[in-house]
Amino acid sequence: MRTVRHNAYIQSRKRRARYIAFAGFAILTSSLWIALNPKMILPAYAAMFLGFVLFNMGMQQVGKWSRNPRNDQLLDAQMSKLGDRYTLIHYPTIGKHKAEHVLVYPGGMLVLTAREIDGTIENVGGRWRKKGGGFRRLFGFSGPQLGNPNMDTEEALAEVENYLKENQIEVDVEGIIVFLHPMVELEIENPDYPVLHGEEVPGFVISLPADPSFTTAERERLVSLLSAGEEVQQETPQTRRRPVKRRAA
């Protein structure tokens, strides 16, 4: 499998996350000084709340973008054995937005919504819930969040479909939701999109039908469009050479 990674975007998100976390910490600590004035108790509480929210938002993003391995690297590892007809592109520009992970394959495009979260995840249709007590949720506030994977997938699919239409490319577009943490347990009922563990993704991708009308040239054109940008890293798997056996003289 070939991979394309937009490193400039990753670096910008790292910087943004650090700035938000630092701003939150600064506001949070300033609330202590504000509280020294008895007449400023309400502004102090407001600053404390704002600082707490900003700091935790920043730490969530710091964890997402500075974690090693990141979600994009985990997906690379899970899908590394796919052939060179498959190209996984991380954080491409889709119109005015950024998609997180898209796969160009012989049948079209696959949008991957990734989560790296542990514990028991329950999904019924479009509703998601992480099971666990209040203390677990409180201490996990700065860590990876579940959010609404369905909504993220729907938005990404809409953006990809509009992008393909603008570039006059007609291919099928599918979406899946992938949970990458090895300690996650999934309780899924009537999902709107396929919900998979990371190790299940390669088998799912291989099972997708090919589209004979989606030629190699069109795939390469689409990959080229999605690879545009600064500091783009492209990796192509190296084919192993079989050893040559020599006859004894």
Please tell me the predicted confidence (pLDDT) of residue 249: 41
Q: How confident is the model at residue 246 (pLDDT cuts 50, 70, 90)?
A: very low
Looking at the domain assignment, is residue 47 inside a domain?
Answer: yes
Shared domain for 62 and 76, answered yes or no, is: no
Please tell me the predicted confidence (pLDDT) of residue 96: 80
Shared domain for 167 and 132, answered yes or no, is: yes
Residue 245 scores a pLDDT above 60: no
Shared domain for 121 and 105, answered yes or no, is: yes
Residue 23 scores a pLDDT above 80: yes
Q: How confident is the model at residue 135 (pLDDT cuts 50, 70, 90)?
A: low
Shared domain for 135 and 222, answered yes or no, is: yes
Shared domain for 72 and 61, answered yes or no, is: no
DSSP annotation string for 97-138: EE-SEEEEETTEEEEEEEE---EEEEEETTEEEE---HHHHH
Q: Helix or strand or coil: residue 148? A: coil
Whole-model pTM: value is: 0.83
For 73-87, 162-176, 223-237, which range has the lowest pLDDT when averaged over its residues?
Answer: 223-237
Distances 153 to 54, 115, 137, 192, 194 between C-alpha atoms, Å: 25, 12, 24, 10, 11
Structural domain tally of the chain?
Answer: 2
Shared domain for 60 and 152, answered yes or no, is: no
Range of the domain at 183: 68-235
Q: Report the range out of 104-113, 145-154, 231-240 with the highest average pLDDT.
A: 104-113
Shared domain for 182 and 155, answered yes or no, is: yes
Q: What mean pLDDT is predicted for residues 46-57?
A: 90
Shared domain for 76 and 122, answered yes or no, is: yes
